[in-house]
Structure 1
């Protein structure tokens, strides 16, 4: 099995194994770019539980997530197997209230 296949399998298993996954630069505790930090702040503010995956740990992961989603930038947010988008989309959805509604509809926000 090639490294690309392994990475795609890892990405798919991570997304399917968790309700909310953020592929980001750095960790939720220590974001390594402003865009990742912005998405972490939004998710933390909403109180949603999520898993952060640091793409800076592995070049093949950083490239692989872009292939997986067909999206050129990081961070990338996934909710219940669905690709939501990057920092700009998450910010717009948060500001409009759409993100909170989507998370609540999926039962992912604290009561």
Structure 2
């Protein structure tokens, strides 16, 4: 496992909610990342950890390999890959996301 993969694994394991995104929660750099942040805030997430993939090309590529998922943002809850913006949106609308966050 590369250093980047090890760091990603440690980050998603040690934090309850992690969003790999373009930009920051305060200043999202793409609409999909912004939407994911808004949904998580609407679910009442207080301790959201965000990783700006634009800061590091190795992390940007590494997270795609880690999850085997081609797009950003990527949401992890309790170490488990949940999905990207569309999946997070669908799970929010059907109540599944809030239930998972509260479990």
* TM-score between both structures, scaled by the size of structure 1: 0.89
Which ranges of structure 1 fall in alignment gaps of 5 or more residues?
106-111
Corresponding residue number in structure 2 for 1:30: 27
Corresponding residue number in structure 2 for 1:17: 14
Which ranges of structure 2 fall in alignment gaps of 5 or more residues?
none
Q: How many residues were matched structurally? A: 102
Distance 1:8 1:66 in 2: 10
Shift of 1:102: 1.1
Q: Which has the higher contact order (CA 8 A, sep 6+)?
A: 2
Distance 1:19 1:63 in 2: 22
Match of 2:38 among 37, 41, 45: 41
Task: Look at both structures and tell me which one has the larger radius of gyration over its CA atoms.
Answer: 1
Distance 1:16 1:103 in 2: 15
Q: Does 1:99 align with 2:101?
A: no
Corresponding residue number in structure 2 for 1:58: 56
Corresponding residue number in structure 2 for 1:79: 77
Question: Runs (4+) of structure 1 moved beyond 3 Å?
Answer: none
Shift of 1:81: 0.6
Residue 47 of structure 1: SS of its match in structure 2?
A: coil
Shift of 1:103: 1.0
Shift of 1:14: 0.5
